[in-house]
Amino acid sequence: MSTQIKQKDWLKLDNAALIYPATQSKRWHALFRLSATLIDTVDPTILQQAANRTVKRFFGFACRLKKGLFWFYLEHIDHPPIIQEDVNNPCVKMDFDENNGYMFRIRYYENRIAVEFFHVLTDGTGGLCFLNTLVAEYLSLKYGETIPRNECILDCDDVPKKSELEDSFPKYARGVLRSRAEANSYRIKGTLDRDYMSVVTGITDIERVKDTAKKYGATITEFLVAVLIKAIDRMQLEERPSRKHHKPIKICVPINLRKYYPSTTLRNFSSYINPGIEPKYGEYPLEDIVRMVKGFMLMEKDERLLNAKFSTNVADGKNIPLRLTPLFIKNMVLRIVYNFVGDRQTSSTISNLGKITLPEPMNKYVTRIDFMLGQLNLNRALIACISYKDTLIINFTRTIKEADVVRYFYTELVKLGIHVKVESNQR
Amino acid sequence: MSYCVNCGVELAPSERKCPLCDTPVLNPNEDKTIPIIKPYSSHVETVVNNIDRKFLALLCTLLLMIPIFISMLSDVLTVQSITWSLYVLCAGLCVFCIFILPYLFKKPNMYLCIILDTASLLLLQGIIDIRAEYGKFFFGISLPITISLGLLSMVFLMYKNKQKRVLKVIAMFLFELSIFLLVINLTVNNYLNISLIPQWAGFAIVPCVITGIFLLVLDKRNKWIEGIRKRLFI
């Protein structure tokens, strides 16, 4: 069986991507951003050449979104992407027409190369692979470096593989389903600044964070989730002093399903869990929050439960009446349903892409890697983390003017003895 | 290096105030010789917020179907046939063609829209004429006036798409308005079997034509245009 794909093909959207085109709006752009900071100023000409080569390798990324009668689909694009200068406010809503049809954009500023992706294309893991490959190509062209390639940095002389375009959700789904119903969570409120996403980057020492998390018997993700819950709890308490009426505080934590299944897809293949607390029962000190988050994640990160969760989505996608419904009705219904359900179940999101290791020829040119989440429909403040070398970068993005939750989060880290250096895009 | 005295975080050299609490940065020992590179460009990207017109148009279509469906249902339930509800249906179709149809497409073909508008208006008037048995009203009055309106609209649209000069476009509009008024006058006169010499239309046609000619002359005099613009700008 051929593992390579024909050119000029079209692709169906993967199961997780189905919701994004229908529900994309002024408030929810479904974007995320990855960037790499280099030792030298970026040369846009070389970056364009690197982009042209990289896009040929990532067949599933060189696509435009098209409407069919029943579903959206992806149509391959032949022309190259346009390199753009970076802006002050990242993850602004993407106009696909202005972007030459592409659903990602490559931007540069000073020493930094950034790529912003529409979630229809891929998730954080796939996006990171794209960024690594792009940077590797750039460094090869600029400095003549020979960079060893692997599953995280693809060889652009190779042809795209079928397994990279696979929709892994139906492949690994089993018949057992699980209800997605959960109680609604407390939502962080503030003055909406819809077209401007504020970013506060916290730069910390990863060993210090790891040691502090270890003291609580938790991983870095569990620890940061707990700190964020505490920060949001403080906000809710200030808003409403009586805990009796407090809503649950839950944080959405994406889970990379590639750790559970032998999938090499570059498209979406992740699930999520929502650990949290019920503040109406009383005050939770940090150690108790960590304990609850750790217990919840231990239980929910079980392969069987994760499988049941995404199997439900797959089953919905196979539903015959739903499949036969014309797209314009599906879109309207999905949008209405999402406005009522959507991200009401969580107060915020923490996405941690983990520790990134690059081959030595790249290490000497790359000083920093950042990961950022674009705005969601109702969750106004989000965290994305990534570690590279001995630094943990925490990007706290928000679409409200008030920075209270951000302040509570970082000052909590400082109180725990973690040194935090902050920078922002404030005007 | 600077720290926020309120939050305890270290502040990057690019921060003039703490991004967490807005406390200004005052560091007398700061080395001002080192150039500061801001972490982000100063260019703020603005988003043109397009209203989702297509979604709105679809919603309006669904809402429009409610009175049509209800009237047809009540018609059928009361007299077991479609009678007066046909007017509602045709009127609904007119509303759809004129107000909603152009928004369903990203780049609507305006010529096709005008043809459909004219056809829907003719259908409505035709149905009224047939059911009310007015006699020659449709062929005598409705048809010539509606078709001339459609044709003149298409001619105007063609001219407007080719012509960049605003004064010429306005002049064309006035000339076409004159023609349309003339057509109405002559059609009504013909229907009433009176003299084909236009009467009341002349009172409107003369000023329209004179104004149109004036605008065409003015269009060729850039100095006059600048003078008027200078004196009348808001």
pLDDT category of residue B106 using cuts at 50, 70 and 90: confident
Residue with structure tokens 């962080």? A188
Rg (CA), chain A: 21
Chain B residues in contact with A200 (beta carbon < 8 A): 19-20
Backbone Cα Rg of chain B: 32
Predicted pLDDT at A1: 41
Q: Which residue has the tokens 């009586």?
A: A242
Give pLDDT tens digits for A48-98: 999 999 999 999 999 998 888 888 888 888 889 999 999 999 998 888 877
pLDDT at position B33 is 83
Which residues 44-63 in chain B show a CB within 8 A of chain A?
44-49, 52, 55, 58-59
Question: What integer best gives the mean pLDDT of chain A?
Answer: 91
B8, B15, B47 member nearest A424 (Cβ): B15
A89–B12: do the CB atoms touch at under 8 Å? no
**B17 vs A contacts (CB less than 8 Å):** 426
Calpha distance B60→B57 (Å, rounded): 5
Alpha helices in A240-369 (DSSP H): 286-300, 303-318, 320-324, 327-340, 360-363
Cβ–Cβ of A89/B39 closer than 8 Å?
no
Which residues 25-54 of A have a C-beta within 8 angstroms of B?
25-26
pLDDT in tens, A199-248: 999 999 999 999 999 999 999 999 999 999 999 999 999 999 999 989 99
Query: Nearest CA to CA, how far is B101 from chain A (Å)?
Result: 15
B28 has a chain A CB within 8 A of its CB: no
- Do B15 and A423 count as a contact with CB atoms less than 8 A apart? yes
Long-range contacts made by residues B117-122, C-beta under 8 angstroms, separation at least 24?
B117/B150, B118/B146, B118/B147, B118/B149, B118/B150, B120/B90, B120/B93, B120/B94, B120/B96, B121/B94, B121/B146, B122/B146, B122/B147
Q: What are the structure tokens assigned to A111, written together?
A: 């020493």
Give the separation between CA A95 and CA A127, rounded to whole angstroms.
19
Tens digit of each residue's pLDDT (9 = 90 or more) over A102-113: 999 999 999 999
Closest residue, chain B, to A108 (C-alpha): B41
Instruction: Report, as an integer, the average pLDDT of A308-334.
Output: 86
Minimal C-alpha gap between A150 and chain B (Å): 31
B24 at interface of A, judged by CB pairs closer than 8 A: no
Return the HEC string of A132-175: HHHHHHHHHHHHCCCCCCCCCCCCCCCCCEHHHHCCHHHHHCCC
Q: Is B106 on the interface with A (CB under 8 A)?
A: no
Q: Which pLDDT belongs to residue B39?
A: 92
Lowest mean pLDDT among A248-262, B1-15, B71-85, B217-231: B217-231
The minimum CA-CA distance between B73 and chain A, rounded to whole Å, is 24
Q: Tell me the sheet residues that pair with A421.
A: A203, B10
CA A80 to chain centre: 25
How high is the pLDDT of residue B151?
95
pTM over 0.80: no
Residue in chain B nearest A412 by alpha carbon: B7
User: How far is A51 from chain B, CA to nearest CA, in Å?
Assistant: 21
Q: What is the pLDDT of residue A42?
A: 96
Mutate to test the interface with A, among B1, B4, B6, B9 (most CBs of A within 10 A): B9
Q: What per-residue confidence (pLDDT) applies to A341?
A: 67
What ipTM score was computed for the predicted complex, to two decimals?
0.85
pLDDT of A370 > 50? The answer is yes
Residue A146 has pLDDT above 50, yes or no: yes
**Which whole number is the average pLDDT over B143-152?**
94
Cross-chain Cβ contact A88/B19 below 8 Å: no
The count of other CB atoms within 10 Å of the CB of residue A180 is: 11
d(CA B76, CA A401): 58
Res A327: pLDDT: 86
Q: Which residue of A has its CA nearest to B40?
A: A88
Contacts of A109 in chain B (CB under 8 A): 40-41
pLDDT at A6 over 80: no
Looking at residues B199-221, what average pLDDT do you find?
92
| CB-based contact A85 B47, cutoff 8 Å | no
Residues of B in contact with A25 (CB under 8 A): 52
A368 in contact with B, Cβ within 8 Å: no
Q: What mean pLDDT is reported for chain B?
A: 89
Q: What is the pLDDT of residues B78-99, one digit of tens each?
A: 988 888 899 999 999 999 999 9
The pLDDT of A369-391, averaged and rounded, is 93
**Chain A residues closer than 8 Å to B52 by CB:** 25
Give the separation between CA A243 and CA A281, rounded to whole angstroms: 7
Instruction: Answer whether A153's CB lies under 8 Å from A136's CB.
Output: yes
The pLDDT of residue A67:
85
> Does the structure show a pLDDT above 90 at A371?
yes
Q: Chain A partners of B10 at a C-beta cutoff of 8 Å?
A: 419-422
Residue B124 Cα, gap to closest chain A Cα (Å):
29
Q: Mind listing the pLDDT tens digit for each residue in B120-140?
A: 999 999 998 888 876 688 888
Residue A356 distance to chain B (closest CA, Å): 21
C-beta atoms of B39 and A328 within 8 A = no
Task: Using a CB–CB cutoff of 8 Å, tell me whether B37 touches chain A.
Answer: yes
What's the pLDDT at A334? 79
B10 vs A420: CB contact, 8 Å cut-off? Answer: yes
- Least trusted range by pLDDT, from A301-305, A399-403, B35-39: B35-39
Amino acid at residue number A394:
I
| DSSP state letters, chain B | -EE-TTT--EE-TT-SB-TTT-PBP--TT--TTSPPPPSS-SPPPP------HHHHHHHHHHHHHHHHHHHHHHHHHHHSS-STHHHHHHHHHHHIIIIIGGGGSSS--HHHHHHHHHHHHHHHHHHHHHHHT-SSHIIIIIHHHHHHHHHHHHHHHHHHHH---HHHHHHHHHHHHHHHHHHHHHHHHHHTT--SS--HHHHHHHHHHHHHHHHHHHHT-HHHHHHHHHHH--
Least confident of A59-63, A158-162, A186-190, A329-333: A329-333
Q: What is the end-to-end Cα distance of chain A in Å, rounded?
A: 55
pLDDT given for residue A316 in this prediction: 83
- The residue with tokens 């000073």 is A110
* Yes or no, beta carbons of B44 and A411 under 8 Å apart: no
Residue B50 has pLDDT above 70, yes or no: no
The number of helix segments (H) and strand segments (E) in chain A equals: 12, 16
pLDDT at B163 over 50: yes
Kindly determine whether residue B41 and residue A87, on different chains, have CB atoms separated by under 8 Å: yes
What pLDDT band is residue B198 in, cutting at 50, 70 and 90? confident
Q: Does B14 touch chain A (CB under 8 A)?
A: yes
pLDDT at A2: 44
Interface of A with B in 102-131 (CB under 8 A): 109-110
Distances in whole angstroms, Cα of residue A192 to Cα of each of A134, A200, A398 = 35, 17, 9
Q: Is the pLDDT of residue A36 over 60?
A: yes
What does DSSP say about strands B10-11 and A276-277: parallel, antiparallel, or unpaired?
A: unpaired
As a whole number of angstroms, the longest Cα–Cα distance in chain B is 99
CA B154 to chain A, closest CA, distance in angstroms equals 30
CB A363 within 8 A of CB A347: no
Mean pLDDT of A277-287: 95
Instruction: Name the residue among A90, A411, A425 with its Cβ closest to that of B7.
Output: A411
Verify whether the Cβ–Cβ distance B9 to A425 is below 8 Å.
Answer: no
Q: How many CB pairs under 8 A join A and B?
A: 93
User: Looking at this protein, which amino acid is placed at residue B218?
Assistant: L
Token output for A256: 């990379």
Task: Report the C-alpha gap between A234 and A247 in whole angstroms.
Answer: 13
In which band, very low, low, confident or very high, does the pLDDT at A144 lie, cut at 50, 70 and 90? very high
CB count within 10 Å of CB B16 equals 13
Pick from B10, B11, B41: which is nearest to A88 by CB? B41
Asked if residue B144 lies in contact with residue B152, where contact means CB atoms within 8 angstroms, the answer is no
